[in-house]
Amino acid sequence: MPMLCFIFCHLNGRIRHMKFEITTNPLHRVSADAAVVFSFKETDKKKKQTYITTKGFRAIDAVLKGQLSKLAEAENYKASRGEVIALFPQSGIIVPTKVYVIGLGAQQEFGIDDLRRAVGSFAQKMKKKIDSIAVALPDDHNVLKNTELVAKTISESVLLGSYAFAQYKTKEKGERTLATAIIANVSKNSSSAQKGIEEGELYARATILARDLVNEQAAYATPTHLTNIAKDIAKASPHITCRIIDKDEAEKMGMHAFLGIARASDTPPKFIHLTYTPAGKKVSHEKIALVGKGITFDSGGINVKPGDHMQEMKMDMSGAAAVLGVFSVIEQLQPKVCVVGLIAATPNLISSKSIVPGDVVKALNGKTIEVLNTDAEGRVTLADSLSYAVKQKATKIVDLATLTGACVVALGSDIAGLMTNNKAFGEKLKNAADQAGEKVWELPLDKDYVSLNKSDVADIANIPNTRYGGTITAGLFLEEFVDKTPWIHLDIAGPAFYTKPVDICPKGGSGFGVRLLLNLITKQL
């Protein structure tokens, strides 16, 4: 009997059910809409053939008496990453009615993220065309010998690639979707494949929650909504606690930076504090704080944003969404380190109560901030969040924030900026990001730039006195609130929200940061 895995995702405003199976049956004996095999690109120009077959390709081609290889040759198939060809065999030869070959690119340059992106791209293209697929696990490369990793990558990428947010599209409700994926011919390492599938599902589920939160309209995804999700996560998890700090309590505590940004809105601000405490004796002494920027809609305040991209500003809580995504599955992954999730949630709106340029607010750690631009609000709310993490005696801190347009200018839409005061900690996060296929690039916290954040009337200004180096000066601003705690700042302004589809994500929220954080707390600490 095949082993089954199930995933339940909050998708399109309903619970979506996707099933994974493992079977010992060969690919051509699996009941599915389509069979999927892989190939590599041939880079040796002396070779006549433009692609390199995998074991799965050769097996099904033999059953089909060479039909697949003939098609590849006829179409001059090059097997570039994500390149797909399709064969419709004669009825009765094999059980699947279609065979797809997915290119993985050149063998010499291949990495596990190439598999993730190729499968994700395929799933995105096919999510409305087929109901089920049967996949032959490729093992024709040293990277692919790890059955658990390959199974995890395939399950993760199928789910992320087939994601869609259609909550408000009445015509798309009830349409066919990719609902079943079967891993075929698993006679060895079935337990490893099973474990990999389950972990891939968890990583995808957490990312999908983050995507849904970012894609949701700001009128619904309010601070109260984020609070309710945090409470639900804690209720379902015996090792997670949730504390919600409301406006009055935040006022008494001294969170005047956060509340200064929040005061323009009638929507009650919420400060969310989640804590995961690992069970057992063999646990780490570490206490890592994950801090997510939680601006549920950013109008820019009095320094109002231009109208061209205003509708996208619901994505300014992408950091908060990533933190909630991590906590939604942390109970199942059971890291051996204590994890704290912190979110200062509020919209940044315009009213007669708005903070205005020239106002001064005091952060939780006692430092005063001159607000010179109300559209640099995220760092002001993070000042209190980071100060709170220090007061909670976090041994390490990571913050994620859609903080600066300058980071998108510098690194583009696919790469997050990384700044850190601790090289060793930074290397751990880089490793975690590389494993997740989430790109980061380190920028320096150059001390010569500290003076650029100087204020004439307060301890620090929320924008520098120059238009240049905006990502670095924002990082230096945040460093003022972490004391000497090992800390990493991730500016995710580019990859948090896509304006056009990419291989494992349609247009909209990407859930960037979820998977690298899960890798960090489970595999690096």
Active site residues: 305, 379
End-to-end CA distance of the chain: 38
Q: What residue spans of 263-377 are helical by DSSP H? A: 318-333
Q: How many helices (H) and strands (E) does the chain have?
A: 14, 21
- Cα separation, 343 vs 114, whole angstroms: 33
Chain length of the chain: 525
Strand 338-348 and strand 270-276: the pairing is antiparallel
At 100 the three-state DSSP class reads strand
Measured between alpha carbons, how far is residue 9 from residues 6, 164, 194, 400 in Å?
Answer: 10, 11, 19, 23
Strand 287-298 and strand 240-245: the pairing is unpaired
The angle subtended at Cα 338 by Cα 443 and Cα 284, nearest 5°, is 90
Burial 283-298 (b: 16+ CB within 10 A, else e): eeebbbbbbbbbbbbb
In the structure encoding, which two tokens stand for residue 309, read together? 């991209």
- Cα separation, 342 vs 272, whole angstroms: 6
DSSP character for 520? I
At 304 the three-state DSSP class reads coil
In the structure encoding, which two tokens stand for residue 442, read together? 């380190």
At 279 the three-state DSSP class reads coil
- Cα separation, 201 vs 196, whole angstroms: 9
The angle subtended at Cα 108 by Cα 416 and Cα 136, nearest 5°, is 90
DSSP character for 478? H
- Cα separation, 473 vs 363, whole angstroms: 18
Query: Which positions ≥6 away from 213 have C-beta within 8 Å?
Result: 221, 226, 229, 317, 320, 321, 324, 325, 509
* CB count in 10 Å sphere of residue 314: 25
Enumerate the β-bridge partners of residue 292: 343, 400
- Cα separation, 277 vs 145, whole angstroms: 34
* CB count in 10 Å sphere of residue 91: 7
- Cα separation, 216 vs 119, whole angstroms: 26
- Cα separation, 236 vs 332, whole angstroms: 11
In the structure encoding, which two tokens stand for residue 109, read together? 């340059």
